[in-house]
């Protein structure tokens, strides 16, 4: 966890919503200079801040609509700090909670050097990153359709469909396995929707590959030296990481990618673990997917997985493999080196 410790004359906490915001401006003594609700209009926001523009910092919790405020502050050369939503316990755990209180707490945390910092992702890369995430959303929706088809076969004690249903050749004749016309209709509906998802996902992939503004082409090529990692998966990792230099150590990177569990200790004793939802869920998925694809056509990798399975079980073995791939990616990007299979197993 990192905190913002910059010193300013004024500290502005913003409780942001889709249509309104509540802002609180404190001076360096902690005195409230402004405490008001405003519509989410850039002009009104700048007018309210005008008396404090000489030396003010803006702090806002990371919610879905923070983009415009961060970009506005960047354009106006106003320091902006994005607050990590899962670390702002002083706001979420309060006995009383409303917009006015929350904005004052945000300003107080800024002034006290206890405002937890999240990364402000560069605006020029956000559209492609968000499109990659949207593609993953649709792919998961398609996967649920395939899961429903398989479960329907199991419900009626029919032989399970062979092959991966994401390939059209394995979907042919699935509905004909059912004599009941209503069941056939359900399967046909799943397949029709899956066909449409195929078209949408393919079009998104073409757009991503054609329009992705890769800030580091060399890093993209390095990622593609990992067995099983194609262009879309490499772009996902690259866009979620942005620059590897923003992680001080491989431990920080592994934690951000949700590849390691955090441990809680007190008085020398382990009291459990936590923070499972803190970090980048999309990176976690990317490395989990990379671990499975890494094993395809890789006898050495499969043998390594079997050794891990004997000791840890299949699920944990794949997690260990994903974590090792994450560590490899960190050092590959940091040292600008291609993937080395021998070093990976050393």
Per-residue pLDDT tens over the stretch 214-230:
777 888 899 999 999 99
**Number of Cβ within a 10 Å radius of residue 116:** 21
Question: What pTM was computed for the model?
Answer: 0.88
| Residue 98: C-alpha distances to residues 22, 94, 321 (Å) | 10, 10, 45
According to DSSP, residue 159 is labeled P
* d(C-alpha 221, C-alpha 230), whole Å: 10
Helix (H, G, I), strand (E, B) or coil at 19: coil
Query: Tens digits of per-residue pLDDT, 21-79?
Result: 999 999 999 999 999 999 999 999 999 999 999 999 999 999 999 999 999 999 999 99
Angle of the 314-335 helix axis to the 231-241 helix axis, nearest 10: 70
């Amino acid at each position: 966890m990192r905190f913002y410790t910059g010193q300013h004359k004024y500290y502005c906490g913003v409780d942001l919503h889709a249509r309104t915001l509540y802002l609180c401006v404190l001076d360096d003594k902690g005195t409230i200079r402004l405490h008001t609700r405003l519509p989410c209009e850039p002009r009104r926001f700048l007018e309210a801040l005008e008396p404090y523009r000489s030396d003010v910092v803006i702090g806002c919790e990371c919610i879905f609509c923070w983009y415009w405020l961060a970009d506005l502050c960047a354009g106006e050369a106003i320091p902006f700090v994005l607050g990590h939503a899962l670390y702002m316990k002083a706001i979420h755990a309060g006995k009383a909670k409303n917009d006015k209180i929350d904005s004052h707490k945000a300003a107080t945390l800024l002034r006290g050097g206890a405002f937890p910092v999240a990364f402000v992702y560069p605006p020029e890369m956000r559209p492609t990153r968000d499109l990659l995430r949207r593609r993953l959303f649709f792919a998961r929706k398609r996967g649920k359709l395939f899961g429903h088809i398989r479960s329907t076969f199991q419900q009626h004690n029919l032989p399970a469909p062979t092959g991966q249903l994401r390939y059209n050749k394995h979907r042919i004749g699935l509905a004909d396995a059912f004599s009941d016309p209503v069941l056939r209709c359900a399967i046909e509906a799943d397949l029709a929707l899956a066909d449409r998802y195929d078209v949408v996902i393919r079009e998104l992939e073409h757009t991503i590959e054609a329009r992705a503004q890769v800030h580091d082409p060399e890093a993209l090529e390095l990622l593609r030296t990992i067995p099983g990692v194609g262009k879309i998966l490499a772009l996902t990792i690259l866009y979620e990481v942005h620059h590897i230099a923003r992680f001080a150590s491989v431990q920080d990177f592994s934690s951000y990618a949700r590849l390691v569990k955090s441990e809680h200790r007190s008085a020398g004793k382990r009291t459990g673990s936590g923070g499972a939802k803190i970090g980048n869920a999309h990176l976690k998925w990317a490395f989990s997917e990379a671990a499975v694809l890494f094993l395809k056509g890789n006898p050495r990798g499969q043998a390594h997985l079997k050794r891990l399975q004997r000791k840890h079980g299949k699920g944990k073995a794949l997690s260990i493999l994903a974590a090792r791939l994450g560590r490899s990616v960190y050092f590959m990007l940091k040292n600008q080196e291609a993937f080395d299979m021998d070093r990976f197993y050393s």
